Amino acid sequence: MNVEQEVIRILRSVLGLDPARHALDASSALLGQVAELDSMAVVSVLTTMEERFGIVIDDDEVDGRTFASVGSLVSFVQGKLDQ
């Protein structure tokens, strides 16, 4: 499984992002750059990632740095998968 592609797929699905308007890759900034990413959307993204990747994410594991970019979010998920 390609974690980066799956995280991008989750972001597009949960946030309703049009691929033509929102090109996403590891360097894409998220917080402050993607208007659709509000606090409720963050919860939905985390819940979807828990279901898709079979991981458990505790509230105290996530902060603004986690959602700084697609790459930081991918690194977070990969770290959880490697545990």
User: Which sequence spans correspond to the domains of the chain?
Assistant: 3-82
3-82, CATH topology level:
1.10.1200
Q: What is the pLDDT of residue 74?
A: 98
Q: What is the pLDDT of residue 17?
A: 95
**With 0-12 CB in 10 A as exposed, 13-18 as middle and 19+ as buried, what is 72?**
middle
Residue 1 has pLDDT above 80, yes or no: no
Write down the pTM of the prediction.
0.94
Question: For 60, which DSSP code?
Answer: G
Quick: pLDDT tens for 23-82: 999 999 999 999 999 999 999 999 999 999 999 999 999 999 999 999 999 999 999 999
Average pLDDT of the residues in 10-28: 94
Tokens of 32: 């402050």
Q: Rounded CA gap, 25 and 57, in Å?
A: 23
**With 0-12 CB in 10 A as exposed, 13-18 as middle and 19+ as buried, what is 10?**
buried
